[in-house]
Chains A and B, each alone.
Chain A
Amino acid sequence: GAVVSQHPSRVICKSGTSVKIECRSLDFQATTMFWYRQFPKQSLMLMATSNEGSKATYEQGVEKDKFLINHASLTLSTLTVTSAHPEDSSFYICSASRTSGGLTDTQYFGPGTRLTVL
């Protein structure tokens, strides 16, 4: 149990376009979902935390108007990279938690989405 999927797994887009990435918890209800970004040879960096039905909480330095997060249901969260630019090219990974206790509660990670912006 506790499977998290992401779609798409890879996306290549032109500069200026918007890209939506879906994160789904397949067999459990995710009270909290997290979005991370990982640049090559760098650490996973938390971008934002979202709780179902409420606005996402963004980490310092992450533009909320650029990275739109919607957690519309207990099994789906979406990350939309608006007006993507080459510097947004990265590996985006989501995780889901059954609880709202925080980051150290068990997180189940998706397989990630590789975004390349030309």
Chain B
Amino acid sequence: DQQVKQNSPSLSVQEGRISILNCDYTNSMFDYFLWYKKYPAEGPTFLISISSIKDKNEDGRFTVFLNKSAKHLSLHIVPSQPGDSAVYFCAASAYEQGGSEKLVFGKGTKLTVNP
């Protein structure tokens, strides 16, 4: 049961244009969402996050939008740069009964930004 889905394994965008990476989730208990970026041979690095009490969070060229009713979030990168080429993971967090925290990752979307 994949609770966090990134349905596009890859995305190709021209430099300067907008990149939109999508993520869907099924567990309505998720209340915090994170995006990580991963370059080859390196571990993921935290990029941006959003709490379920918000619908938008912006940090420079990166904006995350959350649509709770649709259980959907998206990461917008504008303008896209060749250095943004990486695998982007969406992750969602919830506290389970008993107080333990759960963090679930999507499979990732490989973004290629062409010069």
Contact = CB atoms under 8 A, between A and B. Distances in A.
Interface of A: 4, 41-46, 57, 93, 95, 102-104, 106-112
A109 B43 contact: yes
Contacts of B101: 102-104
Interface in B1-55: 2, 4, 32, 34, 36, 41-46, 49
Interface of A is mostly: loop
B85 interface: no
Contact of B103 (A46, A111, A112): A46
B103 A4 contact: no
A43 B107 contact: yes
16 contacts: A4-B43, A41-B107, A43-B2, A43-B4, A44-B89, A44-B105, A45-B105, A93-B43, A93-B44, A102-B101, A103-B93, A103-B103, A104-B101, A104-B103, A108-B45, A111-B41
Residue among A42, A44, A112 with most chain B CB within 10 A? A44
Contacts of A42: 107
Contacts of B36: 109
**From DSSP, what is the main secondary structure of chain B's interface residues?**
strand
Given A43-B2, A43-B4, A104-B34, A95 B43 contact: yes
A11 B44 CA distance: 21
Interface of B: 2, 4, 32, 34, 36, 41-46, 49, 89, 93, 100-108
A110 B49 contact: no
Contacts of A43: 2, 4, 89, 104-108
A44 B45 CA distance: 13
Contacts of A46: 102-103
Contacts of A111: 41-43
Nearest to A5: B43
A45 B32 CA distance: 17
A42 B4 CA distance: 11
A106 to B, nearest CB: 6
Q: Which one of A42, A93, A104, A108 has the greatest number of beta carbons of chain B within 10 Å? A: A104
Nearest to B38: A109
